[in-house]
Amino acid sequence: MPQYTPPLRDLKFVMHELLEAVPRLQRLPRHADLDAATADAVLEEAGKFASEVLAPLNPVGDAQGCKLDPATHAVRTPDGFKDAYAAFVEGGWPSMICDPAFGGQGLPLLLNQCLFEMLNSANQAWTMYPGLSHGAYACLLTHGTPEQQALYLPHLVKGDWTGTMCLTEPQCGTDLGLLRTRAEPQADGSYRLTGQKIFISAGEHDLADNIVHLVLARLPDAPHGSKGISLFVVPKFIPKPGGGLGARNPITCGALEHKMGIHGNATCQMNLDGATGWLVGQPNKGLAAMFVMMNAARLGVGNQSLGLTEVAYQNAAAYAKERLQMRALSGPKAPDKPADPIIVHPDVRKMLLTARAYAEGGRALAMYCALLLDEEHGADDADAQRDAADLVALLTPIVKAFLTDNGWIATSQCLQVFGGHGYIREWGMEQFLRDARINLIYEGTNTVQALDLLGRKVLADNGAKLKKFGKLVAAFIDEEGVNEAMQEFVNPLADLGDKVTKLSTELGMKALANPDEVGAAATDYLRVCGHLVFAYFWARMAKIALAKLDSGDPFYAAKLATARFYFAKLLPETAGLIRSARSGVQPLMAMDEALF
Ligand SMILES: Cc1cc2nc3c(=O)[nH]c(=O)nc-3n(C[C@H](O)[C@H](O)[C@H](O)COP(=O)(O)OP(=O)(O)OC[C@H]3O[C@@H](n4cnc5c(N)ncnc54)[C@H](O)[C@@H]3O)c2cc1C
């Protein structure tokens, strides 16, 4: 069975040394009383829950999957999932970052980011149940009426109810403008919803007393397309105004999907047969309201792959130190043994360091985004809020797509370290790879993230958000420009920054002539930007490691070696990506459709 050790040292490094997060958070009125000891204690407890309670259930969930009783529409989760969820609620974890007005503890989102990274490492399928509740909480907190908030939020905060997001239908996935579920207004102000949703994660299960579905549907007079979509809250059991649960609402699970990975999470076909719902936000503005949940979920999906990258790395590194095969090309390294451990071989190290560099770079980026979100929601100065919001908007598609692409590469490379044993179930590596695959698809495929980044976040605002990130990079380069020891990091960072600026301008010009140029370049462009962001964080981490190299803590030597690996072996892929992005649309569209 795979092992998992919470990466507390690196989480604390990013929090305290790289981001200097506690003093930044203390400047926000709502977190003025936070101290480093509290933050560390939360990480340690979260790590225990993830490694001791959740990790042992990961292979169980994979082997058993979820079971539907067609007669009652009830879904049973794998053995142990329900008890683990009860312990999660008992521990107060669902309420950690929620508003004290609804029973929350009001701690920073940054701590939740760390909690969920560790939960995802331990058990992605289980973690999706509480993960979706947070999105539903955030959506109702922003767009719900005071009555809806009073009815639903205390339960989502406590965790005795969970949430879902119901967008997808058989004919509508990426293109939500095609959705058909209908909502008919009723005399009492509620709506009757009829239609079918598919692929709904955590749509039905036995972990919580009630499920709060957030459903996209059309009003009878709605305009066509995405401008005619409204958002509704549709509870499994209709809450009684004074407390307690009333009637079972006809929103039921008709079937469970049989799928490649995340078997422990129920992926449900949901039938709405005249289910009662209530409008959330304005009529026909449902997509904008749902975006609160979708943006949270996009960061959450990046975090899923970050978790898998870390746990896959840990297991592959341990295996590579034990497994004996062949001698090092440069002569035996373990002459007392029949062969050397495979970690002596350069290519095995390349696979391990790839995963390590992606895990640690991804952690720095994801935690930075969470801190920005804390600043966006907690700063008392409008400019600071806007700057943070702009950076989060720019970085969200990068977190979603770059971290999940990297997670797929890393889990595959870590499986490869095990040779044939990686392909065999008992080692757990093939589960990490299978679980990681969905992360490139849901919450908007990675292609959709790339179109969002290049089309909306960069070209549509004339590069303003990109320039905000560019200013951070430029300030760091200015600061370190005279530091000889940092040239190996600063020079390639500066070079890539210039290339991204030029590439963005070139693609903007081409897009004016032919909008398909955006679609042709977007996925390469996102990966180049992902590397720019990683190079910035890796350079900053290298600076800290260089300064503390003589501290006697081997952590800094490992950090510096990983930074050097990243710049030498991973960053150079940007040269090929830029060439490919610049080659334009012609090679893609030249072939006649009939010839495919
Ligand atoms: C396990 C699982 C869990 C899920 N959980 C949920 C959930 O909880 N709630 C929910 O609502 N949905 C959920 N989904 C649905 C998921 O979000 C969709 O599958 C996803 O958005 C893609 O939609 P689609 O499958 O219809 O693919 P399509 O939209 O048909 O896309 C097919 C391909 O075409 C590409 N494509 C489409 N449009 C464009 C374009 N304009 N430019 C370039 N390429 C394009 C896509 O990138 C993709 O590669 C889940 C799916 C799965 C498999």
DSSP secondary structure string, 315-371? HHHHHHHH-B-S--TTS-S-TTSSS-BGGGSHHHHHHHHHHHHHHHHHHHHHHHHHH
Facing residues of 230 across strands?
217
pLDDT at 345: 98
Question: Exposed, middle or buried by CB within 10 Å (0-12, 13-18, 19+), for 27?
Answer: middle
Residue 134 confidence class, pLDDT cut points 50, 70, 90: very high
Distance CA 149, CA 152 (A): 5
200 lines ligand 1 (CB under 6 A): yes
- Exactly one of 376, 443, 480, 517 is catalytic; name it: 443
Q: Which two tokens stand for residue 272?
A: 């709405």
The runs of H, that is alpha helices, within 218-345 are 286-322
Mean pLDDT for 188-197 is 98
| Ligand 1 nearest-atom number relative to CA 168 | 11
| Residue minimizing CA distance to atom 6 of ligand 1 | 200
pLDDT at 152: 97
Mean of the per-residue pLDDT values for the chain? 97
Mean pLDDT for 540-556 is 97
251 Cα distance to chain centroid = 28
| Residue minimizing CA distance to atom 53 of ligand 1 | 199
Q: What is the distance in A from the centroid of ligand 1 to the CA of 404?
A: 15
Q: What is the distance in A from the centroid of ligand 1 to the CA of 272?
A: 21
Residue 213 confidence class, pLDDT cut points 50, 70, 90: very high
Residue 245 has pLDDT above 90, yes or no: yes
Question: Exposed, middle or buried by CB within 10 Å (0-12, 13-18, 19+), for 2?
Answer: buried
447 Cα distance to chain centroid = 16
Q: What percent of the chain has pLDDT over 90?
A: 97
The 10s digit of each residue's pLDDT in 305-355 is 999 999 999 999 999 999 999 999 999 999 999 999 999 999 999 999 999
Residue with tokens 């490691």: 545
Q: What percent of the chain has pLDDT over 70?
A: 100
300 lines ligand 1 (CB under 6 A): no
Report the chain's terminal Cα–Cα distance, integer Å.
44
Q: Which two tokens stand for residue 348?
A: 């095995």
Question: Alpha carbon of 186 to those of 180, 196, 214: distances in Å?
Answer: 19, 20, 19
Residue 294 confidence class, pLDDT cut points 50, 70, 90: confident
The 10s digit of each residue's pLDDT in 432-442 is 999 999 999 99
467 Cα distance to chain centroid = 24
The conformation of residue 463, written as its DSSP 8-state character, comes to T
Q: No. of H helices and E strands in the chain?
A: 18, 11
Residue 293 confidence class, pLDDT cut points 50, 70, 90: confident
Q: What is the distance in A from the centroid of ligand 1 to the CA of 465?
A: 27
- Catalytic residue status for 443: yes
| Residue minimizing CA distance to atom 34 of ligand 1 | 174
Distance CA 500, CA 397 (A): 16
Distance CA 131, CA 332 (A): 48
> Which contiguous run of DSSP H or E holds residue 525?
helix 516-547
Facing residues of 256 across strands?
268
Q: What is the distance in A from the centroid of ligand 1 to the CA of 437?
A: 13
Residue 481 has pLDDT above 90, yes or no: no
Q: What is the pTM of this model?
A: 0.98
The 10s digit of each residue's pLDDT in 362-403 is 999 999 999 999 999 999 999 999 999 999 999 999 999 999
| Ligand 1 nearest-atom number relative to CA 444 | 21
Residue 263 confidence class, pLDDT cut points 50, 70, 90: very high
- Contact yes or no for 541/18 (Cβ under 8 A): yes
Mean pLDDT for 106-117 is 97
Residue 102 confidence class, pLDDT cut points 50, 70, 90: very high
Residue 292 has pLDDT above 90, yes or no: no
Distance CA 460, CA 114 (A): 33
How many CB atoms are located within 10 Å of the residue 257 CB? Answer: 14
Residue 291 has pLDDT above 90, yes or no: no
Distance CA 438, CA 431 (A): 12
Residue 424 confidence class, pLDDT cut points 50, 70, 90: very high
| Ligand 1 nearest-atom number relative to CA 165 | 9
> Which pairs with CB-CB distance under 8 Å and at least 24 residues apart come from 88-96?
88/49, 88/53, 88/130, 88/159, 89/158, 89/159, 89/160, 91/45, 91/49, 93/46, 93/49, 93/130, 93/159, 94/130, 94/133, 94/134, 94/156, 94/157, 94/158, 94/159, 95/157, 95/158, 95/159, 96/42
Q: What is the distance in A from the centroid of ligand 1 to the CA of 174?
A: 5
What sign results for the dihedral spanned by CA atoms 295, 106, 303, 133?
Answer: negative
| Residue minimizing CA distance to atom 25 of ligand 1 | 173
449 lines ligand 1 (CB under 6 A): no
For 314, phi then psi, to 5°, come to: -55, -45
- Contact yes or no for 569/353 (Cβ under 8 A): yes
Residue 241 confidence class, pLDDT cut points 50, 70, 90: confident
201 lines ligand 1 (CB under 6 A): yes
